Amino acid sequence: MNYYNYILGLSIVATSLFSCSNSNGKADGYGNFEATEITVSAENTGKLMQFEVSEGDQLLKDKFIGYIDTIPLALKREQLEVSKAVISSKSKGVLSQINVLNAQLKTANTNKARTENLIKDNAGTQKQLDDVHGQIEVIKNQIRSVEIQNAPVVNELKSIDVQLKQIDDQIEKSKIINPINGTVLTKYAEPNEITAFGKPLYKIADLGTMQLRVYISETQLANIKIGQDVTVKIDDADTMKSYEGKISWIASEAEFTPKIIQTKEERVALVYAVKVDVVNDGSLKIGMPAELWIQSPTL
C-alpha cells in the first residue's frame, strides 16, 4: 500500500511539472513584430521651402517640420482684401441709410409704447396709436427695400469672406506638422522639390511599443484573454532573449493561416490572429520574427 501511494505521488508531481510547461517544448505561437505606420503627406501644392527630416530621426508630436511655399496664397489673399475694401466703400452710403432708418424705427417704437400708456390712462386716442403703427410699417418697408437693393453687395462681401477663410486654411495646411511621437522610417521628399496635394513626404511609426502578431489555434483560445501577460522570445546569438508582453487584441473570426507559415498543411488550418504589446528596448524591429509563450517553460 505504501509503495502504491509512493508511485501515485510521483505521478502527480510529474503531471504537475508537465502541465506547467508546454507539452512539446515548443512555443504557443509564431509571428512577426509590427507597428502602426503613418504616412505624412502634403496638404498643399508647391515648393518645399523647408523640410527638416532624416530617416531614423526621433520626432515629437506637433513638431514643426517645414512648410510649402505660401507666396502665391499670400498674394491672392491680398488681392481679395483689396476687392473687399472696394466693395465695402461702395456700400457705405446704403449701410448708413439703413442705420438712419433703424434709428427712426427705434423712435417710432418708443412713441408706440408712450401712446399705449396714454390710452390706458384715457389721455390718448386709438387714432394716435394707429398713426404710430402706420409709421412703423412704413419705416420697416423702407428698410426692406434698402436691404434688397444692397443684397448683391452683401452677398459679394460674404463670398469674399469665405474665400479668405479658404486661403487661411490653405496657408495653415502649408505647414508640415508631425502627427505623433515616433521614429522616421522612410523619407520620400527633399527640400526645394515641388510637391503636390496628397504626395507622401515621410513615413513615421511609434517604435516604443511594438505589436507581435501571432496566430493560434482554436484550442488555444481558452488559454488566453485580452490583458493577459505572456512571454515573447526572440533569437539572441546562441540563446533566446525574453520580453514581457500583454495581449491587446484577439481576432473575433478565424482565418486561414497566412502564407508566411512554411508547410501547406498548416496553411489550410483555421487560426485566430492575436496581437501582443511589447515594450521595445531598442532591439525589436519591424518584421522581426518572435515566439509567443503563453506559459514559460520550466527549465
pLDDT of residue 27: 86
Q: What does the alpha-carbon distance between residue 17 and residue 14 come to, in Å, rounded to a whole number?
A: 5
Report the CATH superfamily, name and number, of domain 29-35+206-294: Efflux pump adaptor protein, beta barrel domain (2.40.30.170)
Residue pLDDT, tens place only, 218-248: 888 888 999 999 999 999 888 899 999 999 9
Give the gyration radius of the chain's Cα atoms.
Answer: 38
Least Cα distance to 183 among 207, 159, 162, 199 occurs for 207
Find out whether 43 and 66 touch, Cβ atoms under 8 Å: no
As a dihedral over the C-alpha atoms of residue 227, residue 273, residue 230, residue 181, rounded to 10 degrees, the angle is -70
Architecture of the domain whose range is 37-68+175-203: Beta Barrel (2.40)
* CB neighbours of residue 267 within 10 Å: 14
Each domain of the chain, given as residue ranges in start order, spans 29-35+206-294, 37-68+175-203, 70-174
> How many secondary structure helices (H) and strands (E) does the chain include?
4, 15
Residue type for position 223: N
How is residue 38 written as a grid cell? 503613418
Q: Is 55 helix (H, G, I), strand (E, B) or coil?
A: coil
Q: At the topology level of CATH, where does 70-174 sit?
A: Helix Hairpins (1.10.287)
- Distance between CA atoms of residues 128 and 138, nearest Å: 16
Q: Is the dihedral of CA 154, 156, 157, 159 positive or negative?
A: positive
Q: Is 282 exposed, middle or buried (0-12, 13-18, 19+ CB in 10 A)?
A: exposed
Q: For 50-101, what is each residue's pLDDT tens digit?
A: 999 999 999 999 999 999 999 999 999 999 999 988 888 877 667 778 888 8
pTM: 0.67
Whether the pLDDT of residue 170 is over 90: the answer is: yes
Instruction: Check residue 12 and give its pLDDT.
Output: 35
